Amino acid sequence: MSAYLAFAQSGFLTQLAYRNEVWANLFGKLVQVFARVAIWTAIYGGAGVIGGVSLEEMVTYALLGGAVTGAARYETVVGGIGHALRTGDVAVWLLKPVHFPLYVIASEVGRALYRFTFLVVPTVIFVALFYGMLPPASFFHGAMFVAYWVLALAIFFLIAALFGLVAFWLLTSFSLEWLMQALLNLLAGQLIPFWFFPEPLGAIARQLPFAWIVYYPSAVWLGRLSPEECLAQFGIGLGWAAALAFGVWLLWRRASGRVVVQGG
């Protein structure tokens, strides 16, 4: 376990070395968050409430939307596994007493925490100064948001690792990165919360693991889930995380068997 903490820490620290990039990224993120808020302001026009949701709530939703996806990068996980496969580095990792997908995830978690602290939080505060942001619906909801955020990060990276491992069969990770983006676009609730989806699309999207990446954490913050629902959905999310972790473990076992076939 301590090895993975060290990987995460080194991921965090290597980001410190590229401060110019951080400024450029900060600016890029800022533009995106402004855009999401602008879209909702335009949609609401003069209306204060649409479908039982106020503009303030939607602005808050837009700001929270980047809490995980603004910090975590699936590309480095999917691409990292693909790269190790293409260059043969993966053979070296088989010799080491660490679980390779877990290593890739751990170092990316470190980078995600860095981006969260130095990119996401400042951008959210900055945009909130202009447009305002609602506090969590209650202390309970705020605390649950933190738990959901951690769960979201776990689900996000486990899905990314699953996609990365498929590269062992497809032999290209490029298309897998793009496909993961497609699923995130539609099913995470990044831009449009599921309560604005046409049914039964919304009902289906609520059941899929992507929903725990953006939709559920933000919905919890806004208090759109009762305390009982908060806990129940959190349990289902944990179930998804466990299933995904099992999937990663299984695929990695199969994949490491295949590496031999590819070697040479």
Partner 1 sequence: MRQLRIALRLVLMQIRSQMEYRGAFWIDRIAQIITYSSSLAVIWLLVDRFTELAGWRWPDLLLLYSFHVLGYATGAAISFTQMRDLEERVRLGTFDSLLTKPISPWLYIVFSGFNIGYAGHILLGIALMVWALWIAPVDWSLLTIAYFIASLLSAAMVTAAFLTMIGLTALIWVRSNHLYSIFFGFWELTRYPLDIFPVGIQGVMLTIVPLAFTSSVPVAVVLGKQVPLLGDWAPALALLAGPFFVLLAVLCWREAVNRYQGAGG
Interaction mask 35-74, partner 1, x per CB under 8 A: x--xx-xxx------x------------------------
Span from 53-61, 74-82, 132-140, 192-200 in contact with partner 1 (CB under 8 A): 192-200
* Residue 117 neighbours by CB under 8 Å, 6+ apart: none
20-52 per-residue burial string, b: 16 or more CB within 10 A, e: under 16: eeeeebbeebbebbbebbeebeeebeeeeeeee
**Dihedral angle sign, alpha carbons of residues 39, 58, 119, 82:** negative
The verdict on 238 binding partner 1 (CB under 8 A) reads no
H helices present in 132-226, as ranges: 139-170, 174-187, 201-207, 215-221
The verdict on 128 binding partner 1 (CB under 8 A) reads no
Q: Are strands 53-54 and 49-50 parallel, antiparallel or unpaired?
A: antiparallel
Window 130 to 189, contacts with partner 1 (CB under 8 A)? 170-172, 174-176, 178-179, 181-183, 185-186
| Residue 3, number of CB atoms within 10 A of its CB | 14
Which CB, 156 or 194, lies closer to partner 1? 194
Question: Of how many residues is the chain composed?
Answer: 264
Which CB, 34 or 93, lies closer to partner 1? 34
The verdict on 4 binding partner 1 (CB under 8 A) reads no
Span from 25-33, 56-64, 79-87, 143-151 in contact with partner 1 (CB under 8 A): 25-33
The verdict on 191 binding partner 1 (CB under 8 A) reads yes
Instruction: Answer yes or no: are the C-beta atoms of 202 and 194 closer than 8 Å.
Output: yes
Which CB, 183 or 236, lies closer to partner 1? 183
- CA angle in degrees (0–180, nearest 5) for 78-81-85: 135
Smallest gap from Cβ 25 to partner 1, in A, equals 5
The verdict on 208 binding partner 1 (CB under 8 A) reads no
- Measured in Å, how far apart are the chain's first and last C-alpha atoms? 32
Residue of 34, 126, 140, 249 that binds partner 1 (CB under 8 A): 34
Span from 3-11, 17-25, 97-105, 148-156 in contact with partner 1 (CB under 8 A): 17-25
The verdict on 32 binding partner 1 (CB under 8 A) reads yes
Instruction: Answer yes or no: are the C-beta atoms of 135 and 77 closer than 8 Å.
Output: no
Residue of 192, 211, 230, 251 that binds partner 1 (CB under 8 A): 192
Residue 254 has which token pair? 């199969």
The verdict on 231 binding partner 1 (CB under 8 A) reads no
Q: Which residues pair with 49 in a beta bridge?
A: 54
Instruction: Answer yes or no: are the C-beta atoms of 181 and 245 closer than 8 Å.
Output: no
Smallest gap from Cβ 198 to partner 1, in A, equals 6
Using CB under 8 A as the criterion, which residues of the chain lie in contact with partner 1 when the complex forms? 18, 20-21, 23-25, 27-32, 34-35, 38-39, 41-43, 50, 170-172, 174-176, 178-179, 181-183, 185-186, 191-192, 196-198
